[in-house]
Amino acid sequence: MNRVVAFLKRWGLVVSMLTGACAYITFINIEPLQVCKPLLSKAISVSQPTLLFMMLLLTFLKVKPSDLNLRKWQLGALMLQGLVWIGGAWLMSSIPLSENWRLGIEGFLLCMICPTATAAAVVTGKLGGNQGSLTMYIILANLLASALIPAMIPMICPKAEVDFLTTFWQIVAKIFPLLFSPFLCAIIIRRLLPGVTRWLTSIPNAAFYLWMMALSIAIAVSVKIMHQSFMAGSGIAPQLSIAVGSLLAAFIQFTAGKWLGKNISNYSSNEIISSTQALGQKNTIFSIWCGYTFMDPLSSIAGGFYSIWHNIYNSYQLAKRNSPS
């Protein structure tokens, strides 16, 4: 049993990713299972937010409001996301681009402006980072995305009929309930039910195992979107362009996050971990929705690719941290 736990600590995210991908591939290739499709879709639509809520609740029970401190690296990270998004929007509105280049850049920009994943707090905690400063950045990054996405979408996709206030409230309604409801519940439970708080926070790795289950579902959904896009006739070239754009975004943000934490404020190693995860780990479910809703629907698969890239890197980080000395 101890070996299983040790293995999951090192390679749990890889196991989750393979489980999700294999589950989807198995499902689409076994004809009798197709009758379960409506029921399965309903189960996923309920289980995914439920798992994320439970995971965030367990994480936020360990984060007090007083832990939500502002850091200099947060400003640098916000500037990077915002400037790349605005600069990319100007580029796409000013320079004629081929279809593959346009899709690649669109996917890249979508991955850059996409806010930090709420699950980043769980991974940051496992890596030894500061969950308080990471949670603060999650809030700031979501506010930034809510303001800049509707402002720049008309430049990126001129054909899109986007009203700023309508789009702003659509985005707020999509991302903030799942972020703030577990946070508020955690505050209430911590103040009114200290015994329950102690019991929930004493369960070892509970939030991480919940994230493993949620990640399997997220990867299955990502593989489904990429598969359906290919079957619809998008071809290899556009998907390859988007894959490269999302991989470039992942490399830039993980690298920049580490640099910001290390050089701007000279914080301790736990802040370097927080800044790295804050920029690198993305809410890919949101990016898929955003791409499909406001941009070229094909660009939404950038979120699926990015989910693979950032979880591969997170797996490497966890394996390295938990490897025997």
Summarised one tens digit per residue, pLDDT across range 182-235 is: 888 988 998 888 888 888 888 877 888 888 888 888 888 878 877 777 666 666
62-322 domain in CATH 1.20.1530.20?
Answer: yes
Residue 1 in this model has a pLDDT that exceeds 60: no
Give the closest residue to 151 by CA, choosing from 171, 175, 124, 127: 171
pTM score of the predicted model: 0.85
Among the listed ranges 28-37, 183-192, 249-258, which one has the minimum average pLDDT value?
28-37
- What's the pLDDT tens digit per position in 152-179? 888 877 666 667 778 888 888 888 887 7
Question: To which residue do tokens 């929007």 refer?
Answer: 89
